[in-house]
Amino acid sequence: MNAPLRVGTRGSSLASAQTGQIVDRLRALGREVVVETIATRGDARGDVPVAALAGDGVFVRELERALLGGRIDVAVHSLKDMPTAAVPGLALACVPARASPFDALVGRPGDTLASLPPATVIGTSSIRRVLQVQAARPDLEIRPVRGNVDTRLARLDAGDYRCLVLAAAGLERLGLAARVTAILRPPGFWPAVGQGALGLQVRAGDESARHAVAPLDDLATHLAVLAERRCLAELAGGCLAPVAGWARIEEDGTLRLGARVLEHSGGVVREVVAEDASPAADPGAAEALGRRVAAALVAAGAAPMLERMRAQATAHLLP
């Protein structure tokens, strides 16, 4: 008889909800599952912007330590929170089918980014979202907001903001899709790399855990996020970098990847965009596509933009 599978999650309502969906699927396959809730630095420091914390991975490192230490067998991550650098001894074993990859505007009924009055206050702390809002509507006022989804919505309802920009997938998983007033999608608004997808991480040599989660893997989603994450890795960007990307398999079987790099310079938002496609054949082809799109971005001027943004971010890191 198999020992219970120990699944680790963050303690936020969204993390608990999405881990609960994974646990339900594993139990439906006949696995006994025990859930371990693990606090992360990103959750503990809800008083400051994520970009001000030291380095990326602030929502995953404690889960990874629990994996390496044998406290848990599987860690459930929001894939957009996972740094692209491999962690020795760990492996991304499974990527279930993706929810919506896009961002959503949450405001008053009928609100869209284009329809908002000048000087409207929008809440978001994501560098990527801030720059894209500024590019589309430089006349709006952007204020930082942290905390879990419930906390942010409470501040919206209290009148601190007219609108918020949140991940559509998170609202869907919490049963809050009715709060969405507009979906923000390319070409005007690109999502974070891996947004809407979950990553199930295991110890590299743990074939039992890998076998347990394998039935939950969705090949189309897995190939798409491999392309996105390889593009981000080639640009040497962490999950907090102002890089946006979205890959998807089209009806003809083609894997298409588009990516956008942004910076604020001289009072305006600069951007470079690149897109390419290849047959959705295997992981190697997906990663090769990510490399090509990254190379096209560098050729278009992305490298110095990213370097300037990284220097600005490093100057504001907390110890």
Q: What are the φ/ψ torsions at residue 287 (nearest 5 degrees)?
A: -70, -35
Q: What is the pLDDT of residues 133-178, one digit of tens each?
A: 999 999 999 999 988 899 999 999 999 999 999 999 999 999 999 9
pLDDT of 239 strictly over 70: no
Mean pLDDT of the 33-49 span: 70
Q: What percent of the chain has pLDDT over 70?
A: 91
Measured between alpha carbons, how far is 124 from 122 in angstroms, rounded to an integer? 7
Closest CA to 312 of 60, 107, 131, 94: 131
pLDDT band at 43 (very low <50, low <70, confident <90, very high): low
Residue 241, pLDDT > 90, answer no
Asked which of 59-63, 116-120, 286-290 is least confident by mean pLDDT, the reply is 59-63
Tally: H helices and E strands in the chain:
10, 13
β-sheet bridge partners, residue 203: 90
- Active-site residue, from 56, 73, 81, 206: 81
Q: Which of 7-16, 41-50, 131-140 has the lowest mean pLDDT?
A: 41-50
Residue 221, pLDDT above cutoff 60: yes
Name the CATH superfamily for 218-319: Porphobilinogen deaminase, C-terminal domain (3.30.160.40)
Q: How confident is the model at residue 40 (pLDDT cuts 50, 70, 90)?
A: confident
Fold of the domain spanning 1-96+197-217: D-Maltodextrin-Binding Protein; domain 2 (3.40.190)
- The reported pLDDT for the residue numbered 242 is 87
Domain spans, the chain: 1-96+197-217, 103-184, 218-319
Residue 273: predicted pLDDT: 97
User: To which residue do tokens 């990284």 refer?
Assistant: 310
Give the pLDDT confidence score for residue 55 in this predicted structure.
Answer: 53
Number of CB atoms found within 10 A of residue 157's CB: 10
CATH topology of domain 103-184: D-Maltodextrin-Binding Protein; domain 2 (3.40.190)
Tell me if residue 81 is catalytic: yes
Instruction: For residue 236, count CB atoms less than 10 angstroms from its CB and return exposed for 0-12, middle for 13-18, buried for 19 or more.
Output: middle
- What confidence score (pLDDT) does residue 41 get? 64
Give the lowest-confidence range in 16-25, 36-45, 128-137, 166-175.
36-45
Among 15-19, 237-241, 298-302, which stretch is predicted with the lowest mean pLDDT? 237-241
Q: Which residues are registered as beta bridge partners of 5?
A: 33
What does the pLDDT read at residue 317? 44
Is residue 229 pLDDT above 60, yes or no? Answer: yes
Residue 46 has pLDDT above 50, yes or no: no
Same fold, 1-96+197-217 and 218-319: no
Question: Angle, nearest 10°, between helix axes 13-28 and 149-157?
Answer: 140
Specify the amino acid at residue 30: G
